[in-house]
C-alpha cells in the first residue's frame, strides 16, 4: 500500500513523502507485479476520496441533526434521534458508498425518507466519471464538484497519477489508459456506486454551485465492468474469471438492485432470471414531460414490466444488444412520403434499401445508454401488447402518429398495421 505523509508548511498541509508497502491480500491474483502496484496505488488513493466524503457528510449531518434536536417539538426531537442512529450506522459501514447504503443515507437525511434525494435526474456514467477524475488530476489545480473542499484526495491524486505514469512506461502502455483502468478497478473494489452531488441545475441563479452537497446524491448508472485497456493474456484470463464469479453472485440474487447498461453481450445470460426493473431504466418523465399518448405509453410499460413474460424478456435482451452497439452504427432517417410506406411490402423494401453507416470517426455519438435501453424496451412491448396506449392510438388513427415517429427517429414506422404486429 502507498502511505502518503503530509507536513505542515505555511499553515497548510502538503503531501511530501510516500511509503511503499504491498499487502499480500490486495489484488493478489494480478500476475504482473507492476500492474498490481498500479492497482494498489489507485485503490489507496481512492480510499482517501471515500474518507473525504465520509468526513464531510458526517460533519454536515451532525449540524443538521443538532438543529432539529434543538426544536421544542417532541416529534422533531424523536426524528433527530432516528437520524442520528442512521448517521452512526452509515459512518461505520465498510463501504459507505455502496448501493445498499441508499436507505441508511435516506434516513440520515430525513427520518421517514425511503429514498435518497437525487442531485440530478440522470445517473452518472462511471467510465466518464473516472475519465474526468484522471483529467482533473493532471491539471495544475484539482477542483470541481466531485472533490471535497479541504479533503486529502485532491492532494493525493496528482501523486498517485505520477506513480501510475511510471508503471505505464514500464508496461509500455498509454498513461491515461493505465490510470483509468486502475481507478475503474478501485471503484469496483471499493463499491463506489453513489457520491454526493451538486444540487439540481434547474432554478439556480448565477454561477453554478460546484461543491458537493451532503444531502443530494448522484448514482452511477452502469456497472463499470467495461475497462478501457486491453490487458495482457494473464490479466485477461484473471479478469474473465472475476467477471464469471461476479455474474454468478448477481444471477443468484434475482431481486437485488441491478443495472442493465453495464452488461456486455457475453453476459446477457445473467439477466434471464431477473425479476426487478433495472435501476437505470428511466422514469417516464425523463423521456417525455408532456401529457399525451407517448407519455402514457412509457408510463404503462414502466408500471407493467414483468420479466416473467417472454415478450418482456425478449424486449430486454434486444435492448441490451442494441445499447452495446450504440453509437457504433447509424441509419440515415428516410425522407419519404406516407404513400411510400403505406403497405408492409413498401416499407420492407424501403428499410432494405436504407444504408447503415459508421460515423464514429467523425462523431462520438451519445454515451447515455439508458435512454436507448428504455426506448427500445418500451417500443417492443407497446407495439405487441394490445392494451398499451400506443396500440390503442394506432387502432383509432391507423398510424403511430408524427410525434411518436419523429421522437423515435424513423418515419418508416408509420407503416405498422395490426396484421403485422
For residues 264-278, average pLDDT: 82
For residues 32-45, average pLDDT: 87
For residues 16-36, average pLDDT: 64
Cβ atoms of 114 and 105 within 8 Å: the answer is: no
For residues 200-225, average pLDDT: 63
375, 377, 383, 385 alpha-carbon torsion, rounded to 10°: -140
Number of other CB atoms surrounding residue 263 within 10 Å: 24
**pLDDT at residue 237, rounded to an integer:** 53
For residues 53-78, average pLDDT: 92
Whole-model pTM?
0.52
Q: Among 355, 338, 315, 332, which residue's Cα sits nearest to residue 409? A: 332
**DSSP for residue 226:** S
**pLDDT at residue 229, rounded to an integer:** 40
**pLDDT at residue 283, rounded to an integer:** 86
Specify burial of residue 112 (Cβ count, 10 A radius: 0-12, 13-18, 19+): exposed
Residue scoring higher pLDDT (361 or 416): 361
CA distance 394 to 383: 9
CA distance 256 to 254: 6
**DSSP for residue 51:** H
Is the per-residue pLDDT at 19 higher than 60? no
CA distance 190 to 126: 13
Is the per-residue pLDDT at 289 higher than 80? no
Residue scoring higher pLDDT (135 or 114): 135
**pLDDT at residue 80, rounded to an integer:** 93
For residues 85-94, average pLDDT: 92
Is the per-residue pLDDT at 146 higher than 80? no
From 23-32, 145-154, 227-236, 301-310, the region with the lowest mean pLDDT: 227-236
Alpha helices by DSSP H, listed for 138-232, are 153-171, 175-189
Q: pLDDT tens across 183-196, in order?
A: 988 888 888 888 99
Domain ranges of the chain: 2-221, 265-420
Q: Among 327, 292, 249, which residue's Cα sits nearest to residue 404? A: 292
Read off the C-alpha cell for 92. 461505520
Is the per-residue pLDDT at 417 higher than 50? no
Amino acid at each position: 500500500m502507498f502511505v502518503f505523509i503530509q507536513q505542515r508548511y505555511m499553515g497548510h498541509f502538503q503531501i511530501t513523502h510516500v511509503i511503499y508497502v504491498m499487502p499480500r491480500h490486495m489484488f493478489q491474483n494480478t500476475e504482473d507485479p507492476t500492474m498490481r502496484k498500479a492497482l494498489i496505488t489507485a485503490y489507496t488513493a481512492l480510499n482517501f476520496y471515500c474518507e473525504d466524503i465520509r468526513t464531510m457528510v458526517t460533519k454536515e449531518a451532525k449540524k443538521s441533526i443538532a438543529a432539529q434536536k434543538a426544536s421544542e417539538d417532541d416529534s422533531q426531537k424523536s426524528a433527530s434521534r432516528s437520524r442520528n442512529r442512521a448517521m452512526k450506522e452509515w459512518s461505520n459501514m465498510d463501504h459507505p458508498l455502496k448501493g445498499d447504503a441508499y436507505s441508511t443515507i435516506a434516513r440520515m437525511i430525513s427520518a421517514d425518507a425511503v429514498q435518497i434525494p437525487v442531485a440530478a435526474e440522470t445517473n452518472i456514467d462511471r467510465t466518464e466519471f473516472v475519465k474526468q477524475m484522471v483529467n482533473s488530476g493532471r491539471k495544475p489545480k484539482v477542483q470541481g464538484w466531485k472533490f471535497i473542499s479541504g479533503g486529502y484526495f485532491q492532494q493525493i491524486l496528482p501523486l498517485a497519477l505520477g506513480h501510475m505514469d511510471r508503471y505505464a512506461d514500464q508496461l509500455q502502455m498509454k498513461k491515461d489508459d493505465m490510470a483509468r483502468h486502475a481507478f475503474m478497478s478501485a471503484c469496483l473494489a471499493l463499491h463506489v456506486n453513489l457520491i454526493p452531488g451538486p444540487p439540481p441545475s434547474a432554478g439556480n441563479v448565477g454561477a453554478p454551485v460546484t461543491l458537493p452537497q451532503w444531502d443530494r446524491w448522484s448514482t452511477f448508472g452502469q456497472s463499470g465492468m467495461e475497462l478501457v485497456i486491453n490487458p495482457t493474456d494473464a490479466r485477461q484470463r484473471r479478469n474473465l474469471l472475476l467477471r464469471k464469479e461476479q455474474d454468478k453472485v448477481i444471477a443468484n440474487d434475482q431481486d437485488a438492485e441491478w443495472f442493465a447498461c453495464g452488461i456486455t453481450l457475453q453476459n446477457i445470460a445473467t439477466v434471464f432470471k431477473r425479476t426487478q426493473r433495472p435501476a437505470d431504466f428511466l422514469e417516464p418523465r425523463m423521456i417525455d414531460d408532456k401529457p399525451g399518448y407517448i407519455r402514457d405509453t412509457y408510463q404503462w410499460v414502466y408500471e407493467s414490466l414483468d420479466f416473467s413474460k417472454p415478450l418482456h424478456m425478449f424486449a430486454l435482451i434486444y435492448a441490451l444488444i442494441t445499447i452495446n452497439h450504440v453509437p457504433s452504427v447509424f441509419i440515415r432517417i428516410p425522407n419519404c412520403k406516407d404513400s411510400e410506406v403505406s403497405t408492409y411490402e413498401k416499407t420492407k423494401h424501403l428499410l432494405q434499401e436504407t444504408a447503415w453507416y459508421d460515423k464514429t470517426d467523425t462523431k462520438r455519438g451519445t454515451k447515455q445508454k439508458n435512454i436507448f435501453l428504455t426506448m427500445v424496451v418500451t417500443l417492443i412491448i407497446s407495439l405487441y401488447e394490445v392494451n398499451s396506449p400506443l396500440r390503442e392510438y394506432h387502432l383509432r388513427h391507423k398510424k403511430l402518429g408524427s410525434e411518436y415517429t419523429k421522437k423515435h427517429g424513423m418515419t418508416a414506422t408509420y407503416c405498422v398495421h395490426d396484421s403485422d404486429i
